[in-house]
A and B are shown apart, each in its own frame.
Chain A
Amino acid sequence: MTTYIQTVGLVHEASREAGRRRRRRSEALAGYAFLSPWLIGFVLLTAGPMLASLYLAFTDYDLFGAPTWTGLENFQRLFTDPNYLQAWKVTGSYVLLGTPLKLAAALAVAMLLNTKRRGRGFYRSAFYAPSLIGASVSIAIVWKAMFIDGSIVDRISQFFGAEPGGWVGDPTRTLPMLILLTVWQFGAPMVIFLAGLKQIPTELYEAASMDGAGPVRRFVNITLPMLSPVIFFNLLLETIHAFQIFASAFIISNGTGGPAGSTLFYTLYLYQRGFVDFQMGYAAAMAWALVLVVGAVTALLFRSSRMWVHYSGDAR
């Protein structure tokens, strides 16, 4: 009797288990079905091409004929190519200078906008506008027109006694020009900073003021630590974004990366190798080198974040 009951119980249990499994499977299927638009896009438009480019990185491929396997040759060439080093120099300077400046501008404006004053909503939209249109081709053209010979910037600097001549043809001034362009587009990190600032409890500031802390002290000891997760988030996004600069440099240098290689950004050089010189294999190798470096930089940022990012509720 007991064995019978046990058996029935087991069978019952087993069938319930099977039902659960079936249900789980159908749930998983439904999940994948809902995911499928993204999944198909990811496989066809991202993963597939990435795998193809990984293969191409080890080949000699000129776009027209079939690729021929060359092993590590493309990667070895990276180390002896003077333009490749130049591309890293330009991109590195851009990332190291542009990103911190942009974040500083974003934080400064966010703090100004965080105070209660009239027209706050208007200013918020106005400051955000450049980053809405910033990536577009037209803004790069306008930027070029603003800095070229005989432009507004040229005239203003002549008024202050500078030699005539715009920034566009001067290799020492093209990079600053592009950094200014990216700094001007601080809107997106600004909005995120603003949201972060609103999260900081005002009691902290009140208590600090009561203890006699001035504005600088309050900024360093309250705002920065409380905002550090948001700073980290913005830093990560903007750094990765900065590595990928292409459109504005392409427009301003007519796709040459000039004058004298001063705007030869990594992706621009990659594009030139691929679509101007028809060295697709080499370009693919460059793309993968970039993926590795950006990945390493991201990992480093995450590693360092343990030292300076404070999440509320942390013991530190």
Chain B
Amino acid sequence: MRHNKLALASVVAAGALALSACSSAGGTTADPSSAETFNPNEQVTLTLTWWGNDDRASRYQEAIALFEEAYPNITVQPTFSPWDDYWTARSTEAASRSLPDVMQFDLSYMREYADNDMLLNLQPYLDNGTIDLSGFDPSLVSAGVLDEKQVAIPTSTNTFSMFTNPAILDQTGVAFPDDATYTWQDFNQFIADTTAAGATTDDGYAIYGSPDYTGTFWFFMQWLLQKGVQPFAEDGSLGFTQDDVVEFLNLTADLRAAGQTYPQDRTVALTPVSGFASNEAAAQMNWDNFLASDSADSGSELALHQIPSIEPGEKHLFLKPSMLLVAGANTEHAAAAATLINFLLTEPEVGAIFGTSKGVPADVVQRDKVEAAPGSIDAQVIAYEESISRDVTETVPIPVKGYGTIEAKWKTLAEEVAYGNLTPEDFAKQWFDEAELAMS
């Protein structure tokens, strides 16, 4: 009999767990007036997670140390992982409603998580002053609003740029084209010439012009905008066709056929460091905030240029709100989480710690605090975003449902193209099939 009681008790307990799991799903609909400010006498442990490399981790550690000094009763438990693993881990946590209290987040996955009520609505904490966004451009704040809920707030902005490695340019003797007016064809020519120069690294590895830029979905979107095509329609459907995809992939078809883009097998072997950051490629298109981590990985001085365009000079750039901060809807310490988010977003010292490694800070005080010594990486990135400001003519494509998945599929399929296992036409077909599944 006692056994039965025990069994009954455990069934009830399990049921209660299930119920609480269900009820926490609706946890984002907190009444704004009921939001509490953080109680400084309460001992709280917060979990914080981000993606990135060691360089970023040590900057976060510094910021956390400052935070714990300012809020002695909050302990922050940090974790971090590379981009791909990061989202796998989050998805399993989301399924079990055990997301970390505070997370670095990306536009790509924002809709997926927000639609399922996984992210805390931060609006109450904006209203009661826990989070103070007075130093933010309002358009950036609204980038984190979905369905009238402030589910995320960007830390910074970044935009596309072209990195070059001046030491390699010297070594190969191939001059980089005039970045104000060069086209994709000019850039292709540069890649071909650099690879054909036949230079090698000290370890004997061949030096290439650039990795194949068609392997990244964001670059495709940038190219579409230059072509006058909006990647996503208002209703969340795709604004482009398979022909657009084929055309883009064929930009580098000749380079691939001649083996002039950076080889895929070497890319795989070097992962997570890129071939460019390993000083084996002369140039690589990338988000401008990567200059810090690429410089750290490469150990040599890198230069920032503008990206190529379809029509000379018509760049059609956009500023991407990035490194958004969110709180998991399942957090038990919402006020403390909001306090940490506010600290990371607006504390001037944190701005100094991260510099431009997460992009140019969105908060004006943090931006001013970035100690941009002339010629430093931070100064380069800030100067770049200022110099291209009149080319920023587009708004960032709205994240659609399943965006993270279709972006990842692009990468996987592009790898097959790089190995010659898939034609651009097959790529387009398979990718559209996957997109249909992911977005439905």
- In the assembled complex, the Cα of A168 lies from the Cα of B418 at a distance in Å of 16
Residues in A neighbouring B415, C-beta threshold 8 A: 256, 258-260
B419 touches A260 (CB 8 A): yes
B94 at the interface (CB under 8 A from A): yes
- In the assembled complex, the Cα of A149 lies from the Cα of B430 at a distance in Å of 31
- In the assembled complex, the Cα of A261 lies from the Cα of B204 at a distance in Å of 28
Residues in A neighbouring B88, C-beta threshold 8 A: 255, 275-276
Chain A binding surface, main DSSP class: loop
A166 at the interface (CB under 8 A from B): yes
Residues in A neighbouring B234, C-beta threshold 8 A: none
Selecting from B147-155, B262-270, B297-305, B350-358, the interface stretch reads: B262-270
B269 touches A260 (CB 8 A): no
A164 at the interface (CB under 8 A from B): yes
Q: Which of A168, A258, A276 contacts B87 (CB 8 A)?
A: A276
Residues in A neighbouring B271, C-beta threshold 8 A: 254
B268 touches A169 (CB 8 A): yes
A169 touches B264 (CB 8 A): yes
Q: Which of B85, B265, B412, B434 contacts A169 (CB 8 A)?
A: B265
Nearest-neighbor residue (CB-CB) of B90 within chain A: A275
Residues in B neighbouring A82, C-beta threshold 8 A: 430
Nearest-neighbor residue (CB-CB) of B438 within chain A: A277
Report B86-104 CB contacts with A as 1/0, cut-off 8 Å: 0110011011000000000
B87 touches A260 (CB 8 A): no
B269 touches A148 (CB 8 A): yes
Nearest-neighbor residue (CB-CB) of B95 within chain A: A63
Residues in A neighbouring B265, C-beta threshold 8 A: 165, 169-171, 259
Q: Is the interface on chain A under 10, 10 to 19, 20 to 34, or 35 or more residues?
A: 20 to 34
- In the assembled complex, the Cα of A254 lies from the Cα of B437 at a distance in Å of 24
- In the assembled complex, the Cα of A157 lies from the Cα of B117 at a distance in Å of 54
B270 touches A149 (CB 8 A): yes
- In the assembled complex, the Cα of A166 lies from the Cα of B271 at a distance in Å of 13
Residues in A neighbouring B204, C-beta threshold 8 A: 164
Q: Which of B84, B268, B272, B405 contacts A259 (CB 8 A)?
A: B268
B408 at the interface (CB under 8 A from A): yes
A168 touches B268 (CB 8 A): yes
Nearest-neighbor residue (CB-CB) of A282 within chain B: B437
Report A270-298 CB contacts with B as 1/0, cut-off 8 Å: 00000111110000000000000000000
Q: Given A166-B269, A170-B265, answer yes or no on A261-B92 (Cβ-Cβ < 8 Å).
A: no
- In the assembled complex, the Cα of A175 lies from the Cα of B380 at a distance in Å of 45
A64 at the interface (CB under 8 A from B): yes
Residues in B neighbouring A65, C-beta threshold 8 A: 116
Centre residue among A165, A260, A275 by max chain B CB count within 10 A: A260
B91 touches A255 (CB 8 A): no
A150 touches B264 (CB 8 A): no
Nearest-neighbor residue (CB-CB) of B422 within chain A: A260
Q: Nearest Cβ distance between residue B217 and chain A, in whole angstroms?
A: 15
A275 touches B269 (CB 8 A): no
Q: Nearest Cβ distance between residue B107 and chain A, in whole angstroms?
A: 17
Q: Nearest Cβ distance between residue B268 and chain A, in whole angstroms?
A: 4
Other contacts beyond A259-B419, A276-B84, A278-B405: 20, CB < 8 A:
A63-B94, A63-B95, A64-B112, A164-B205, A166-B269, A168-B268, A169-B266, A169-B267, A170-B265, A254-B271, A255-B85, A255-B88, A256-B412, A258-B412, A258-B415, A260-B421, A275-B88, A276-B87, A277-B408, A278-B112
- A-B pairs with lowest CB-CB distance, top 5: A169-B265, A64-B116, A169-B268, A260-B419, A169-B269
27 example contacts (A-B, Cβ-Cβ < 8 A) are as follows A64-B94, A64-B116, A65-B116, A149-B269, A149-B270, A150-B203, A164-B204, A165-B269, A169-B263, A169-B269, A170-B265, A171-B265, A171-B419, A254-B272, A255-B88, A256-B84, A256-B412, A256-B415, A258-B412, A259-B264, A260-B419, A276-B87, A276-B91, A277-B405, A277-B434, A277-B437, A277-B438
